[in-house]
Every structure is written in C-alpha cells, then in structure tokens.
Amino acid sequence: MRVRWALTLVLVAGAAEARSSLDTPGHASTAVRCDEQTLAACTQRRVEALQRLGATLKRAAGQQPAKPPTDPKARGELARYDRWLTLQSERAEKLVAEGQRAIGAGKDAPERQMSFNLQYLQLQSQMQNENLAYTAVSNIMKTKHDTVKNSIANIR
C-alpha cells in the first residue's frame, strides 16, 4: 500500500506546476504565463500530465498487494484507499476533458484555459492536503507499531 501511495505522490508532484504570472493586464491570450510558457502551452502540458496521472491512479487502484491483509480492518482500509484512487482518477479524467475543451474553444479559449488552470491548481491543492493528512496518520501508526515492536523485543 505504501508503494502505491508513494507512486501517487510522485506523480502529483510531477504534475504540479503552480506558478503563473501576468505580463500585461487586459490581454489574457498573450499575457498569462505559466513559467515561461503561454497559457495555451501550459494548459496542454497540464492536460497531458493529468492524463498520465489518471491512468496511473487507475492502474494503482487495480493492483493487489503481494500479500493481502488478513485483518478485516486492514482489508477495509485497503478497499477504501482503492476507492479513493479510483475517485482521484475520475476527477483527473474529468479535468482532462475540461482542459481539452478549453484548448479547442476558439475565441473563448483564454478564459476557458484560465478556468481549467484554476481547477487544476485546486485539484493539486486538495491532493496535497490529503497527502498531509495521510502522512500524519501514517507517521502516528508507524510510531505506535515501533513502540509495540520494541516492547515485545524487550520482553524476550
């Protein structure tokens, strides 16, 4: 399970480009930049990153651990995590469709691309917040496990 979560985090970090700035106010089609790229190029890059992310999350949700957990609570958590991966994959796929519509929007493209990029950054932020929560719980669980393991070792 940790391998899949680590893979998820790597992909989210790889798909996360969050810097945008305005060069000339009032000229959305030429002024909005993402790093040193135009808005259209940035949107295209983010759509491609989301496509990779969605596919990887879907594959990860379908993977089974080498040794399935025997504890019913652990199986439940694994199933919950798989559902979360599937949900995130679906969210990425929906955002990909929005980005593709924004790229081909014609004269409304800059506004739609800006909307897509805002949604992209919101998704990125939500996933980062979920990562922080997961990391906190994971660290607490590891500490508890290590404490119990050391206590057992000290008894022997």
The predicted-structure confidence for 36-87, as pLDDT tens digits, reads as follows: 778 888 888 889 989 998 999 999 888 888 888 888 888 888 888 889 889 9
At residue 33, the pLDDT reads 55
Environment class of residue 149 by beta-carbon count within 10 Å: exposed (0-12), middle (13-18) or buried (19+)? exposed
At residue 18, the pLDDT reads 35
Instruction: Inform me whether the pLDDT recorded for 101 exceeds 50.
Output: yes
Q: How far is Cα 54 from Cα 78, in angstroms, rounded to an integer? A: 19
Domain that holds residue 85: 2-155
At residue 55, the pLDDT reads 92
Separation in Å, CA 35 to CA 41, 43, 114, 156: 10, 12, 14, 59
CB–CB of 47/99 below 8 Å? yes
Instruction: Inform me whether the pLDDT recorded for 29 exceeds 50.
Output: no
The secondary structure of the chain as a DSSP string is -HHHHHHHHHHHHHH----EEESSTT-HHHHEEETTEEHHHHHHHHHHHHHHHHHHHHHHHH---SS---SHHHHHHHHHHHHHHHHHHHHHHHHHHHHHHHHT-GGGHHHHHHHHHHHHHHHHHHHHHHHHHHHHHHHHHHHHHHHHHHHHHHH-
Query: Can you give the pTM of this predicted structure?
Result: 0.63
Of the two residues 14 and 110, the one the predictor is more confident about is: 110
Of the two residues 143 and 12, the one the predictor is more confident about is: 143
Tally of domains within the chain: 1
90 band by pLDDT with thresholds 50, 70 and 90: very high
